[in-house]
Chains A and B, each alone.
Chain A
Amino acid sequence: QKEVEQDPGPLSVPEGAIVSLNCTYSNSAFQYFMWYRQYSRKGPELLMYTYSSGNKEDGRFTAQVDKSSKYISLFIRDSQPSDSATYLCAMSAFSGGSNYKLTFGKGTLLTVNP
C-alpha cells in the first residue's frame, strides 16, 4: 500500500462549481499536511498547510484533515478557469535527527471550463 494515495482524475468542472480534491494516507506518523498547486510546465507552489484535524480556510480554499480516518481534502469554492492546474497533496513526518520526510501524492489534474 502506498503511503499517500490521490485520485489522479482528471477532473473537469464548470466555472463556479465547488471542487473537492482528496487524499488518503497510511502512515500515522504524518504530522503536517499540505496542498500544492502546479501549473503546466511550472514548479509546484504551496497553497495551504495545516497540522491539526479540522478545517482551515483561506479565501475560496478550504483544507480539511481527518486524522482518525487518515483522509485530507481540499475544497475550492466558486472555481475559476485560473484554478485549472494539477493539485498535489503532501504530508510530512519526522524522520530522525532534525529531519522531516515529505511525501507527495501523484496529483489530480483539474480543468475549470468557462
Chain B
Amino acid sequence: DSGVTQTPKHLITATGQRVTLRCSPRSGDLSVYWYQQSLDQGLQFLIQYYNGEERAKGNILERFSAQQFPDLHSELNLSSLELGDSALYFCASSARQFYGYTFGSGTRLTVV
C-alpha cells in the first residue's frame, strides 16, 4: 500500500457520460497530481493541485476538470466521455515537488 488511495479501481461507462475519480493523498502530502496513462501515449500529466489551489496544468482536455478539497482529497471529473478517454488514471502525491511522487494504484476507465 503506497498510502495514496484511489477509487474506484475500475469503471465502465458509456460514451457521453460523466464520471468522477477520487484520490486521497498520502498523509502529510499537500500536492496532488493527476496522470493519464495509455499504451500509445505513456504517462501524461493532466493537472496539479497544491493545498487546494491549482498549480500547474498539462495536457488536460476542457471536458476534464479537477479540484482539491480542504481535507486534501482530490477529484477528477471527466465529462462527455469518448472512446479515446479509455485509459488508466493515476493520482500521485508528494511532499517535495522535484522528485518522490507516490502513485496510487489507479482507476481503469473503460468507455464503451
Contacts and interface: CB of A to CB of B under 8 A. Distances in A.
Contacts of A32: 98-99
A72 interface: no
B99 A44 contact: no
Interface stretch (A9-17, A60-68, A99-107): A99-107
B70 interface: no
A30 B91 CA distance: 23
Interface string B79-112: 0000000000010100001111111111010000
Interface in A51-79: none
Q: How large is the interface on B (under 10, 10 to 19, 20 to 34, 35 or more residues)?
A: 20 to 34
A99 B47 CA distance: 12
Contacts of B45: 101-103
A98 interface: yes
Contacts of A44: 43, 90, 103
A100 B43 contact: no
Contacts of B21: none
Contact of A34 (B4, B99, B106): B99
Interface string A76-105: 000000000000100010110111111111
A61 to B, nearest CB: 16
B102 A46 contact: yes
A49 B97 CA distance: 13
Contacts of A7: none
A107 B97 contact: no
Interface string A22-65: 00000000011010000001111110010000000000000000
Interface in B27-56: 33, 41-43, 45, 48, 55-56
A77 to B, nearest CB: 23
B100 A46 contact: yes
Nearest to B43: A104
Contacts of A99: 48, 55-56, 97
6 contacts: A42-B105, A46-B99, A88-B43, A92-B97, A95-B56, A106-B41
